[in-house]
Amino acid sequence: MSRRVLYFTGSGEVEVREEPVPEPGEDEVLVETDVSAISPGTELLVYRGEVPAGMAADATIDALDEEFEYPLQYGYAAVGRVAAAGVGVDDAWRDRRVFAFAPHASHFLAVPEELRGVPDGSAGRAALLANAEAAVNFVLDGAPAVGERVAVFGQGVVGLLTTALLAEFPLEALVAVDGHERRRELALEFGADASVAPGADDLRAHLDGDRSGDDATDGSPPGDPPSGSGDAAERRGPGGADLAYELSGNPAALDGAIAATGFAGRLVVGSWYGTKPVELDLGGAFHRSRIRLLSSQVSSIDPTDRGRWDKARRLAEARRLLERVDAERLLTHRVPLERAPAAYRLLDECPEEAVGVLLTYS
């Protein structure tokens, strides 16, 4: 009996290979995969050959602890059923539907502690668990507060889930930014108050709140009079986002996110740019802006939160998020594993068409 395994074999190249199905060890289970989700951010970096040399794929996940070097197995969002178990595994695991942080393959080994149970009928939604966990992590790191104005740059799967979670907060404004119309439309459906293209003339207007017609939109710091006149402007304070997220994966978006962030605002950078260069204009207003830039990545929890949050609690919240939103709307394409090269080309070349892509195995 053989299994099918996806390998990244070079820049712009993936292939599916057949290998013997491994036998589970005493404390392992064999999972037969139903679907696995492509993570279009990190996986496209791997697909394009834009990952820095010498980095571990993910040192926090046993299945991904090798360095990024072709040929490479990758992926971390598989849903399937336990097909066999070692003699040391509780019989209750047999035939159970589960989620695992495992590379794309028709069969894989895991220990029960690495698995999460999945209700029947929700395989597609469950495959988004890793993306939802990232969204929860971003919101924890950004710590949105009541009445804040928030902008989310990038409305891919993770960006849309982040928008959906932020929409549950009592914000003054939640603005989504993306270059593709379909994703902007989804952002509105997922709770954004406004959704605009990068560089849109009205982006800053959405983030300045109701300024009663004055022109106090220059981001003057507290204590300085706004450039316009009138008590209303002073009550509103400086314009711009109190909190912004850069989740597009596009280095050029970071400059736009900085420009949209108001005085003393926070900017959470969740994108991983890999080897792509980042050019920023930090010589002007940024120097006096007191904007705080924060890197955020799901492999760790902020030290200030670790006393009360761990990975299990964060995953539980991610599952609840997927239950509250219409996550299936994020899955625009289902592609058989044998056609994986076409799936990656679709995400790479046609982002205006594809948002979330599932690989199927039957």
pLDDT in tens, 23-53: 999 999 999 999 999 999 999 999 999 998 8
Instruction: Report, as an integer, the average pLDDT of 326-337.
Output: 96
User: Mean pLDDT of all residues in the chain?
Assistant: 90
Query: Strand 97-100 and strand 78-85: pairing?
Result: antiparallel
Give 141-157 pLDDT, tens digit per residue: 999 999 999 999 999 99
- Under the banding of pLDDT at 50, 70 and 90, the label for residue 1 is confident
Q: Give the number of C-alpha atoms closer than 13 A to the C-alpha of residue 117, restricted to the C-beta side.
A: 7
Three-state secondary structure call for residue 35:
strand
Q: Is residue 187 within 8 Å of 163, Cβ to Cβ?
A: yes
| pLDDT score of 57 | 61
**pLDDT of 358 strictly over 50:** yes
Give me 241's structure tokens: 């986002």
Residue 187 and residue 158: Cα distance in Å, rounded?
Answer: 11
Band (284; pLDDT cuts 50, 70, 90)? confident
pLDDT at 56: 64
Pairing of strands 115-117, 107-110: unpaired
Higher pLDDT, 207 or 66: 207
Given a contact cutoff of 8 angstroms between Cβ atoms, the answer to whether 170 and 149 are in contact is no
How much is the pTM?
A: 0.90
Q: Note the pLDDT of residue 59.
A: 54
d(CA 46, CA 8): 8
Mean per-residue pLDDT, 266-291: 92
Residue 352 structure tokens: 């205006």
Question: Is pLDDT of 214 > 50?
Answer: no
Which helix H or strand E contains 321, and what residues bound it?
A: helix 311-324
pLDDT at 65: 54
Range with lowest mean pLDDT among 34-48, 118-132, 202-216, 315-329: 202-216
pLDDT digits (tens, 9 = 90+) for 167-188: 999 999 999 999 999 999 999 9
Query: What structural domains does the chain harbor?
Result: 2-127+327-360 (3.90.180.10), 131-295 (3.40.50.720)
What is the structure's pLDDT at 7?
97
Which residue has better confidence, 239 or 231?
239
Whether residue 4 is predicted with pLDDT greater than 80 in this model: the reply is yes
Residue carrying structure tokens 């560089």: 199
The answer to whether residue 213 scores a pLDDT higher than 80 is no
Quote the CA–CA distance of 17 and 339 in Å, as a whole number: 12
